[in-house]
A = this chain, B = another copy of it.
Amino acid sequence: MSSKRVFGFLICLFLISGAVIGQEKSKIVSSLFDEALTNETAYRQLEYLCRNTKGRIPGSAAAAEAVEYTRQALINAGADSVWLQKVPVPHWERGKEGCRIISSVYGPADLSITALGLSVGTSDDGILSNIIEVHDFDELKKLGNKNIEGKIVFFNRPFDNKLINTFAGYGGAVNQRTSGAAEAAKYGALAVLVRSATNALDNFPHTGVTRYQDDVNKIPAVAVSTLDAELLSKYLKSDPLLKIHLISTCRNFPDTWSYNVIGEIKGDSLPGEYITVGGHLDAWDIAEGAHDDGGGCVQAIEMIRLFKKTGIRPKRTIRAVMFMNEEMTGTGGRIYAEEAKKKGEIHYAALESDRGVLSPRGFLFDAEGTRLEKLCALSQYFKPFNIPDFDKGGGGSDIGHLKPMGALQIGYLPEIQRYFYYHHSANDTFEQVNFRELQMGSAAIASLIYLIDKLNL
């Protein structure tokens, strides 16, 4: 054989073996999907979390139950080691709630409300006052003390429903909830009533955290359902002097303790490098927390089960983490990163599933240049599963603390058109989750982590 021929032969061998290796990876990805779509373990775990640990806000008995349940689930999934990580969390409790319009034009009408998380409460008798509708903080400033002092402020800026990215719609409306109370208090408001941060036009009020400023008076903050926000706005047009009787006796207590729940498969050749896959275990007290974020949690546990079941032995140590207290003050993610840093762990990559568990559409990577290109090229493995969107983008708030330590940030991207119909409301129930959609996501996440680890991306 001439040297030219030998060279040609070697090139052929190289290409063929490359193709075979590619086929092998595709086969493993297929086996992950096969197993996920024919086993109900994760779906039943989610059912348990929804039915038995509903309303698991940090520090609650339900959260403690969820911690113990997922710890056990990680052991059952076959994790090499499972442990709890102590996390300081706020302790806030909802009280009596009610909100009535008192109008000489329309008569009385009760509004569907829910206190915002970490809000201070009213007295037992509540607040009786006039109400003024605003749409943003500029309008608040223009109205100033003379129009606002001694009144309840009603923030009523809707989602821009023309935005295809519903998270952008949320982003355009949510500062009324997070900062409305602090901003309105600067002008002497007594309380705020905030239009629920949702695309839906229905009667579910959507809660979520509100944040105060140290130097500003803390005033009660509640969300009102979008239909009742429309009603109140209509009433105000004909009867601007109507009064609102608002009762919300929620309270903040001294901080307490809860836990992150962590399970891992020890890496085969690079055990000192870590890949973290997480969701957050806490959920709002009025919700079952199915899409937000029980689903993300069971997908992480399911990744461990899928790796074990299909015999994948990762190079790096792969962790499933149920972060505690994402919704209120984010201490779970912070403590996890702090301890990792203290121990000198190398965090290679981290993925968060916290956009609900509707059908998978793809993944977002916080990377640049060639690395981003290589990560996006992984979409080839997901073509048979109709998961096309591999793009640049963000991860999630819990794993964000690992970014300064160099961990690649990955966001799981499911279908998102209906997500905010559920988010932070009593409508976020197990019934809204479909087995196949949840498990297509579990398989996609497990496959991506397998490929990133295998290919050192």
Q: Which residues of A are in contact with B by a Cβ distance under 8 Å?
A: 33-34, 37-38, 40, 161-162, 164, 166, 199-201, 359, 361, 384-386, 388-389, 415, 417-418, 421, 434-437, 440
How many copies are assembled?
2
Nearest 7 CB-CB pairings of A with B: A418-B434, A417-B436, A34-B162, A37-B161, A417-B437, A359-B417, A388-B388
Contacts of A386 in B (CB 8 A): 164, 361, 389
Nearest residue (CB) in B for A431 is B431
| Residue pair B437, A418 in contact (C-beta under 8 Å) | yes
| Residue pair B33, A164 in contact (C-beta under 8 Å) | yes
Contacts of A417 in B (CB 8 A): 359, 434, 436-437, 440
| Residue pair B162, A199 in contact (C-beta under 8 Å) | no
Nearest-neighbour CB distance to chain B for A366, whole angstroms, equals 20
Nearest residue (CB) in B for A436 is B417
| Residue pair B385, A38 in contact (C-beta under 8 Å) | no
| Residue pair A384, B164 in contact (C-beta under 8 Å) | yes
Supposing A359-B417, A389-B386 touch, asked if A38 and B434 sit within 8 A by C-beta, the answer is no
Contacts of A385 in B (CB 8 A): 164
> Which of A33, A34, A164, A361 has the most C-beta atoms of chain B within 10 angstroms of its own C-beta?
A164
Nearest residue (CB) in B for A164 is B385
Nearest-neighbour CB distance to chain B for A290, whole angstroms, equals 14
> Which of A384, A434, A436 has the most C-beta atoms of chain B within 10 angstroms of its own C-beta?
A436
Supposing A386-B389, A415-B415 touch, asked if A436 and B161 sit within 8 A by C-beta, the answer is yes
Contacts of A421 in B (CB 8 A): 434
Nearest-neighbour CB distance to chain B for A389, whole angstroms, equals 7
- Known contacts A161-B436, A199-B436; 5 additional CB pairs below 8 A are A38-B161, A164-B386, A200-B435, A417-B436, A421-B434
Contacts of A361 in B (CB 8 A): 386
Contacts of A389 in B (CB 8 A): 386, 388
| Residue pair A436, B415 in contact (C-beta under 8 Å) | no
Nearest-neighbour CB distance to chain B for A376, whole angstroms, equals 14
Nearest residue (CB) in B for A202 is B435
Contacts of A201 in B (CB 8 A): 40, 435
Nearest-neighbour CB distance to chain B for A437, whole angstroms, equals 5
Nearest-neighbour CB distance to chain B for A74, whole angstroms, equals 25
Supposing A359-B415, A415-B359, A417-B440 touch, asked if A162 and B434 sit within 8 A by C-beta, the answer is no
Nearest-neighbour CB distance to chain B for A391, whole angstroms, equals 11
| Residue pair B359, A162 in contact (C-beta under 8 Å) | no
| Residue pair B37, A162 in contact (C-beta under 8 Å) | yes
Nearest residue (CB) in B for A437 is B417
Offer 25 A-B interface pairs, CB within 8 angstroms, sorted by A.
A33-B162, A33-B164, A34-B162, A37-B162, A38-B161, A40-B201, A161-B436, A164-B384, A164-B386, A164-B440, A199-B435, A199-B436, A200-B435, A359-B418, A386-B389, A388-B388, A415-B415, A417-B434, A417-B436, A417-B437, A417-B440, A418-B434, A418-B436, A418-B437, A421-B434
Give the distance in Å from the alpha carbon of A386 to the alpha carbon of B385 in the complex.
Answer: 16
Contacts of A434 in B (CB 8 A): 417-418, 421
Nearest-neighbour CB distance to chain B for A268, whole angstroms, equals 28
Partner of A162, one of B38, B200, B415, B437: B38
Nearest residue (CB) in B for A31 is B162
Nearest-neighbour CB distance to chain B for A198, whole angstroms, equals 11
Contacts of A418 in B (CB 8 A): 359, 434, 436-437
Nearest-neighbour CB distance to chain B for A261, whole angstroms, equals 28
